[in-house]
């Protein structure tokens, strides 16, 4: 009987889980496209390019959609069973809530393990593909589009205007083309009564087949005075070819992106963190090697300590050093020595600034690498955590469908997501260590999950509407009597 019950629970959960997961993933993908819509519209993206972007972006959003799908599906599953009095029948037969949750808990452990391997092995590759493709699309030019009555400057070195376009979209009339490719301004002008726009088969060029026009060209050679010879050429039919290769999406070499922390797995992140730790330890030695050429008098560590002790001495000793410069150095060399000292100080400051910038960049990368490494584990563990919240919550509210469960699931997920983002910001600001900030949401919600499990075992009435109606009536009666 128990084995059949386990199969019943798992089969009741899998259906809503698959549906909610894909619905959540679809919403997140649409949110991504809404964010970058202005940069992608009007660039003539083909169907294959759009499908590629959808696939890669959907893959990168799986770790975020999976916990929300688990939370919503668990609330729906246990809420529907509570609404249909199935939980009451199971409890009355002697099966506790924890035993009832056990098969799904084991299933969630398997899902979390699979989510970790997915985040560790698939997500870095998907990030590399998605971010490199997005970079190319955002930096590509919009499609070449000529509008009647407006100058078009999309093609470098040309300014094109057509008076009108026929309904076929190809025939154009009253054409003016300013050829500025020579670099001397509008020294080459083409006029035509009408023509046709004919793209080549490979879409790499556009042919303007012009009719009944003329071409004016100024010669830029050296002439006497300010006069420049002009060539006028009349034609009945002439083909002007424009290169459109710059409008094509050119793919950047993906090797340029592969060293980013988003494109690494746990092992690569750990190696990067270890190398940064070793490099941080060598920064002091590097600074010492930078400064040693400028220490003309103080070469040994003992001399440095003596010099520091003298600097910290009373003001009378410091005055002796000031008088030594004025008394021991000839006046003819003082200006040169001061200039040399100022130049050396500026060089030292530049070297120290360079070392400081390098140290700061290393420190920022160290934090990012730590954040990304912990993220691999926190998003996987979130599946178990949100299941431990959703299952008892569904047993308490006893409502199935997409009404109340959806509202509560979104509320809890928003709290989880905001807490996770807040923890990550605190880590970035160096207010918390990486492990504390990235596990902040788990530490806050895990006690809530344990409280909800306890309340569900005791058949809590926290979300029972009739309980609050009775309380309101009692309070209203007390105020009426007063």
User: Based on the number of CB atoms within 10 Å of its own CB, is 384 exposed (0-12), middle (13-18) or buried (19 or more)?
Assistant: buried
pLDDT at residue 110, rounded to an integer: 92
pLDDT at residue 465, rounded to an integer: 60
The Cα-based distances of 2 to 75, 96, 228 in angstroms read 22, 12, 99
Place of tokens 């178990």: 384
Task: Give the range with max mean pLDDT: 223-227, 230-234, 461-465.
Answer: 230-234
Cα 64–chain centre separation? 13
35-47 per-position pLDDT tens digit: 776 666 655 666 7
DSSP state, 264? -
The reported pTM is 0.66
List the beta bridge partners of residue 232.
216
Task: Give the range with max mean pLDDT: 140-154, 237-251, 301-315, 419-433.
Answer: 419-433
Residue 478 has pLDDT above 80, yes or no: no
CA distance 142 to 147: 14
236-269 per-position pLDDT tens digit: 888 888 777 666 656 666 677 777 888 888 888 8
CA distance 124 to 260: 10
Task: Give the range with max mean pLDDT: 161-170, 289-298, 317-326.
Answer: 161-170
pLDDT, mean of residues 316-325: 53
Q: 225 pLDDT band (50/70/90 cuts)?
A: low
Which strand (E) or helix (H) includes residue 216? strand 205-218
User: Based on the number of CB atoms within 10 Å of its own CB, is 419 exposed (0-12), middle (13-18) or buried (19 or more)?
Assistant: middle
Concatenated DSSP letters for 363-415? HHHHHHHHHHHHHHHHHHHHHHHHHHHHHHHHHHH---TTSHHHHHHHHHHHH
Residue 436 has pLDDT above 60, yes or no: yes
Q: For the chain, what is the mean pLDDT? A: 78
User: Based on the number of CB atoms within 10 Å of its own CB, is 135 exposed (0-12), middle (13-18) or buried (19 or more)?
Assistant: middle
pLDDT at residue 1, rounded to an integer: 46
CA distance 377 to 116: 7
């Amino acid at each position: 009987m128990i084995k059949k019950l386990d199969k019943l629970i798992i089969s009741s959960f899998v259906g809503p889980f698959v549906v909610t997961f894909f619905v959540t993933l679809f919403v997140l993908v649409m949110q991504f496209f809404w964010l970058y819509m202005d940069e992608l519209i009007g660039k003539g993206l083909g169907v294959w390019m759009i499908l590629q972007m959808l696939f890669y972006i959907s893959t990168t959003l799986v770790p975020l959609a999976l916990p929300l799908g688990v939370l919503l599906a668990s609330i729906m599953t246990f809420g529907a069973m509570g609404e249909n009095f199935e939980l009451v029948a199971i409890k009355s037969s002697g099966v506790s809530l924890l035993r009832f949750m056990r098969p799904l808990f084991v299933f969630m452990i398997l899902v979390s393990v699979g989510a970790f391997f997915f985040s560790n092995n698939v997500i870095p590759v998907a990030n590399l593909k998605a971010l490199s493709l997005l970079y190319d699309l955002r930096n590509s030019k919009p499609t070449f589009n000529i509008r009647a009555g407006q100058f078009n400057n999309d093609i470098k070195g040309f300014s094109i205007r057509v008076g009108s376009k026929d309904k076929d979209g190809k025939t154009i009339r009253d054409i003016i083309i300013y050829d500025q490719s020579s670099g001397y301004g509008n020294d080459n002008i083409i006029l035509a009564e009408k023509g046709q726009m004919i793209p080549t088969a490979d879409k790499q060029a556009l042919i303007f087949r012009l009719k009944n026009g003329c071409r004016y060209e100024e010669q830029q050679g050296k002439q006497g005075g300010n006069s420049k010879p002009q060539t006028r050429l009349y034609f009945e039919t002439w083909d002007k070819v424009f290169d459109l290769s710059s409008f094509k999406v050119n793919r950047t070499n993906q090797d340029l992106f592969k060293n980013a922390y988003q494109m690494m797995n746990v092992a690569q992140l750990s190696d990067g963190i270890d190398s940064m730790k070793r490099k941080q330890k060598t920064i002091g030695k590097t600074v010492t090697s930078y400064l040693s050429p400028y220490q003309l008098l103080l070469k040994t560590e003992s001399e440095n300590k003596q010099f520091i002790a003298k600097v910290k001495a009373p003001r009378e000793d410091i005055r002796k050093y000031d008088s030594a410069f004025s008394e021991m150095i000839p006046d003819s060399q003082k200006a040169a020595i001061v200039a040399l000292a100022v130049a050396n100080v500026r060089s030292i400051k530049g070297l120290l600034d360079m070392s400081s910038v390098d140290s700061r960049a290393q420190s920022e990368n160290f934090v990012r690498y730590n954040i990304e490494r912990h993220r691999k584990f926190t998003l996987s563990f979130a599946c178990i955590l949100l299941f431990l919240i959703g299952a008892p919550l569904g047993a308490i509210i006893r409502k199935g469908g997409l009404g109340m469960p959806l509202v509560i699931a979104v509320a809890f997920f928003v709290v989880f997501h905001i807490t996770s983002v807040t923890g990550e910001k605190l880590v970035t600001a160096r207010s918390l260590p990486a492990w504390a900030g990235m596990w902040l949401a788990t530490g806050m919600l895990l006690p809530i999950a344990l409280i909800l499990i306890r309340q569900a075992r005791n058949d809590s009435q926290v979300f029972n509407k009739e309980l609050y109606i009775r309380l309101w009536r009692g309070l209203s009666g007390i105020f009426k009597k007063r």
